[in-house]
Amino acid sequence: MFIVEENRTIYVENNTILGEVTYPFISFNAVDINHTFVDINLRGKGIADKLLTKAFIYFKKNNIRVKCSCSYAKKWISNHSEYQDLLIK
């Protein structure tokens, strides 16, 4: 199950967090995606992609601007033009 929270989006199975994207606020309406983690047993199954997709849907809905300091997030956003307008340049 994917859960979107104010400062993170998580993937949970059997009450255990197996994936997480963290994004602390850096200003009133801006976050920094600073970490992406997926349990080693789930890597390569699209969990990180889904975590970021759900996070960016939340950002768009709430008019939140985004900085990507996480290397995975930087790579991910370069392939998702539909969210480029949210990036802090």
Which domains does the chain show, CATH number per domain?
2-86 (3.40.630.30)
Rg for the chain (alpha carbons), in Å? Answer: 12
Q: What is the pLDDT of residue 62?
A: 96
Provide the token pair at 37: 């983690």
User: Smallest Cα–Cα separation from 56: which of 23, 28, 25?
Assistant: 23
Q: Is the CB of residue 2 less than 8 Å from the CB of residue 10?
A: yes
Q: What is the pLDDT of residue 89?
A: 77
Provide the token pair at 46: 């699209």
Residue type, 45: K
Q: What is the pLDDT of residue 81?
A: 95
> Mean pLDDT, 10 residues at a time, over the chain (89 residues)?
96 97 97 98 96 98 97 96 94
User: Smallest Cα–Cα separation from 27: which of 88, 77, 71, 70?
Assistant: 88
Q: What is the pLDDT of residue 5?
A: 94
* Cα 26 from chain centroid (whole Å): 15
